Structure 1
Amino acid sequence: MTQTILTLSVAYGLLIVLSMLMVFNSRFPLILRAGLTVAVAALVFYTYWGIGEIRGLPSDSAPPDRFRLYWAQITEPDKLSGETGSIFLWIGELDEDYYPIGMPRAHKLPYSEELAALVIEAQQQISQGEQIAGEVSEDAEEADTEEQLAAEVAEDSAESNSTRVGERYLSFDFGNLEFVPAPAPVTPEKRN
C-alpha cells in the first residue's frame, strides 16, 4: 500500500507541473487558471486522505489455499437494514512446508451458515490455545445437472441486482474449506 501512495504522489506531482505549465503559458482567463490551480492542490490532499482511509480495509479476494487462522469475526445478515452479512478472517498465508509467507491480512468473505459454523469451531480451538490452519482442498466435484446450473445462474442474477457500486462479490466454494490444527513447519535435515 505504501508503494501505491508513493506512485500516486509522483503522479500528482507530474499533474501539478503540467497544470503550472498550462497556467503560466496559456491564454485562458485568470479565473479559470486560478480555479485549476486550487482544484489540483485540493485533489492532492483529498487523495492522500482517501488512500490513508482505505489502507486498513480487508481484501475481498479469495483466501490462499493454505493459511493460518489468527482470528475471525462474524457479522450475521440483518433483514431490517438489508445487510447481507460477512465473515472477516485474519489470516497469514503458509507455503507447502507450512512456513508463513508475507504478512497477515484481513479477508472479507460473504456470510453463509456453513462457513460461520466452521469459523466458530475454529475460534473455539484458538481460544483453547491451538494454532489453526485452513486448507482449501481441490477435490473433484460432481458434474452439475442442468437444474443446479440454472438455479446458480438465477441466484447470481438475483444477487447482482443488489450489488452496490464499489462492492465486489466473491465466488468461492466453501465446501472444500476445512480448519485443522496447524502442523509444525517442515524443517530440512541437518548435514554434518
Structure 2
Amino acid sequence: MALQTNVLLLVLAYVLLSVLLLVVIAQLRLPRLVKIGAIVLASGFYIVVFYASQGLLGWSAPVVVPARFQVLWTRVIEPNPSRQQPGAVHLWLEELDDANLPSGVPRSYVLPYSPQLAGRVSAAQAEIENGHPQGGRAQFFGSPSDAALPDGLSVDTSMRAAPPGGDAPSGGLLDPAFLGGQSKSVELVPLPRPELPPKGLP
C-alpha cells in the first residue's frame, strides 16, 4: 500500500470519528451556534490533519526494522549532552524475502543510540562505500539470536561477541521507545547472494 494511501486512510479515519461525534452533538440540547462552531472546527481539523501527516513523511520511523533487509545507507547521530540530545542511529533499509531478493520499498528507520550499535553501523557504512553491499536482520536485546542465517552466510565472531545496540527501554508501556517497537537492535552482515530458482532445461 502506497504511503500517500496510508495518509489518506488516516485522514478518513479522523473524518469518520469526527462525523460520529458531530452526530452525537447534534442530538444534544445545545445552542445552535455551539453546534455550528463544532462542525466548522471539526471540518477545519480535517485539513490540519492531512497537512500535518504530510509533514511526517520524511522522518525516520521509530518502528521495528524488517526481519531481513539490505542496508542502503546509514547515519549515526552522536549524543550531545550539552543540548540534551541522546543520539540516534538512522538506517535506510529495504526488506528482503526468503530468497534474499528485495520484497518492499526502501524505508527509513531510527534506533536508539549506543556505542556498540554505532560502531557496527559505521563499519557497515564503510563497507557500503567501498562497494560491498551490506545486509542484516533484526535481533532482540540481549544475546544475539542463534537463529539460522541464510545458506552461505556467516557472522564474524567478533560481531557475535559484541553486545547488541542499547539497553532495553526501561520506561515500560509509556516509554516511546517501547511503543515504537525499539525492543530490537540489528545484526549487520555482508549481503547474501540472491537464491535464484534453477534454470529450466532447454
Alignment TM class, shorter chain as reference? 0.7 to 0.9
Decide whether the 8 Å contact of 2:77 with 2:89 is kept in 1: yes
Structure 1: how far apart are the matches of 2:194 and 2:56? Answer: 34
Distance 1:14 1:83 in 2: 36
Residue equivalent to 2:128: 126
Give the partner amino acid of 1:185: P
Q: Identify which of 188, 192, 195 aligns with 1:186.
A: 195
Pick one of 148, 160, 166 that aligns with 2:171: 160
Kept in 2: contact 1:118–1:179 (CA 8 A): no
| Worse-matched range after superposition: 85-94 or 13-22 | 13-22
Q: Which residue of 1 aligns with 2:119?
A: 117
Shift of 1:90: 0.3
1:77 — aligned with what? 79
Partner residue of 1:172 out of 163, 169, 184: 184
Q: Deviations over 1:68-125 (max 9, x none)?
A: 1110000111111222110000011112211001101111011111111111111111
2:145 is aligned to 138
> Greater helix percent: which structure?
1
Q: Deviations over 1:42-93 (max 9, x none)?
A: 1111111121112222222232232111100001111112221100000111
Gap change, CA 1:156 and 1:33, over 3 Å in 2: same
Deviation at 1:18, TM superposition (A): 7.1
- Offset, 1:179: 2.3
Q: Contact between 1:59 and 1:106, CA under 8 Å: does it hold in 2? A: yes
Partner residue in 2 for 1:19? 22
2:145 counterpart letter in structure 1: E
Q: Which shifted more, 45-54 or 161-170?
A: 161-170
**Of 6, 29, 34, the match for 1:4:** 6
Aligned length, in residue pairs: 173
The one-character-per-residue Cα deviations of 1:11-61 (angstroms, maximum 9, x if unpaired) are: 4167448737965x7753232122112211111111111211122222222
Q: Which amino acid aligns with 1:178?
A: L
Offset from partner CA, 1:123-181 (integer Å, 9 cap, x none): 111111222112456328xxxxxxxxxxxxxx768x5299569974712255xx1321x
1:55-66 counterparts in 2 under 5 A? 55-66=57-68
SS in 1 for 2:108: strand
Q: Structure 1 residues 45, 166: closer, same or farther in 2, change over 3 A?
A: farther
**Structure number with larger C-alpha Rg:** 1
Unaligned runs of 5+ in 2: 139-143, 148-166
Asked if the contact 2:93/2:106 (under 8 Å) is kept, the reply is yes
What secondary structure, in the 3-state scheme, does the structure 1 residue paired with 2:42 have? helix
Is 1:29 paired with 2:31? yes
Cα distance between partner residues in 2 of 1:118 and 1:78: 20
Q: Could you tell me how far apart the structure 1 residues matched to 2:60 and 2:78 are? A: 17
Amino acid at match of 2:41: A
**For the aligned residues, what is the CA RMSD?**
3.2
**Structure 1 residue runs without a partner (length 5+):** 141-154
